[in-house]
């Protein structure tokens, strides 16, 4: 059985991830691929319970290390129960956020040593890494305004703009460090223009997997 593909999507909430994920799903299905969409934190019954703890605006007392460990715990369950089996069975898995979110939010944003974030998440990942990651590049000032206008905010989104700028700069640093995997997509454009770039990268990675 041929191994599938693991695609992750990153960026500030409000950067247009959901719209582009839907377009990706539709395009890949039209090409005959079996698609599984999932998200982090969450994706499994256990993960969704952890998600509710992490994002609940009432949990303002949550410590940074506890937050990091909760994300990693959700990810460990996600990988073992859902992502790894799906990819090994030949499916294309699209995940809204993955380990890069921990690097930028807990590492660059919270200031936790990146080596600590990496060591904890290496256990959770169990060798599972994305084949390609799309970073939808849109400044937090614009992205968060969109998000607040549409759905309101959760505990992480309620952080000060300084935090979100650190996260954004973290994404840009990761994209520069890992250009072979992380594709930065200028998201201050029309939906059609953005997806044109996404589709081009999808076609390339699919050809390389054949």
pLDDT band at 154 (very low <50, low <70, confident <90, very high): confident
For the chain, the average pLDDT equals 93
Q: Please give the full DSSP string across 96-161, using - where no structure is assigned.
A: ES-HHHHIIIIIIIT---HHHHHHHHHHHHTT---SEEEEEE--HHHHHHHHHHHH---TTTTS-H
For residues 201, 207, 209, 210, the Cα torsion angle rounded to the nearest 10 degrees is: 160
Q: Which letter does DSSP use for residue 82 in this model? A: I
Q: When comparing pLDDT for 23 and 147, which is higher?
A: 23
Q: Which range has the worst mean pLDDT, 35-39, 45-49, 54-58, 152-156?
A: 152-156
The pLDDT of residue 94 is above 90: yes
Q: Is 183 helix (H, G, I), strand (E, B) or coil?
A: strand
Residue 174 to residue 177: CA distance in whole angstroms: 5
The pLDDT of residue 124 is above 60: yes
Residues 6+ apart with CB under 8 A from 23: 191, 195, 198
pTM over 0.85: yes
**What is the model's pLDDT at position 24?**
98
Q: Across residues 174-183, what is the average pLDDT?
A: 98
Return the percentage of the chain with pLDDT > 70, whole number: 95
Question: How many residues does the structure list for the chain?
Answer: 210
pLDDT band at 150 (very low <50, low <70, confident <90, very high): low
CA distances from 127 to 48, 68, 122, 209 (A): 22, 19, 7, 18
**What is the model's pLDDT at position 112?**
98
The pLDDT of residue 116 is above 70: yes
Rounded to the nearest 5 percent, the helix, strand and coil shares of the chain are 60, 15, 30
- What is the CB neighbour count within 10 angstroms for residue 155? 16
Sheet with 182-186, side-by-side order of all strands: 35-39, 92-96, 5-10, 132-137, 182-186
Residue 197, sorted as left (phi over 0), alpha (psi -120 to 50) or beta, turns out to be alpha
């Amino acid at each position: 059985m041929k191994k599938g593909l693991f695609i992750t999507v990153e960026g500030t909430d409000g950067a247009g991830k959901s719209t582009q994920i839907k377009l990706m799903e539709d395009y890949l299905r039209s090409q005959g691929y079996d698609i599984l969409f999932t998200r982090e934190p969450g994706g499994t019954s256990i993960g969704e319970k952890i998600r509710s703890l992490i994002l609940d605006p009432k949990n303002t007392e949550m410590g940074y290390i506890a937050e990091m460990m909760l994300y990693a715990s959700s990810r460990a369950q996600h990988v073992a129960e859902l992502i790894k089996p799906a990819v090994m069975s030949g499916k294309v898995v699209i995940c809204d956020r993955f380990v890069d979110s921990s690097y930028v939010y807990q590492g660059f944003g919270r200031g936790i040593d990146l080596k600590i974030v990496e060591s904890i998440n290496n256990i959770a990942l169990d060798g599972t890494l994305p084949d390609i990651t799309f970073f939808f590049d849109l400044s937090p000032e614009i992205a968060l305004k969109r998000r607040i206008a549409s759905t309101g905010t959760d505990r992480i989104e309620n952080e000060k703009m300084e935090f979100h700028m650190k996260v954004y700069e973290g994404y840009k640093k990761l994209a520069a460090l890992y250009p072979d995997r992380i594709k930065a997509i200028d998201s201050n454009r029309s939906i059609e223009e953005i997806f044109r770039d996404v589709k081009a990268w999808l076609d390339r990675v699919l050809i390389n997997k054949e």
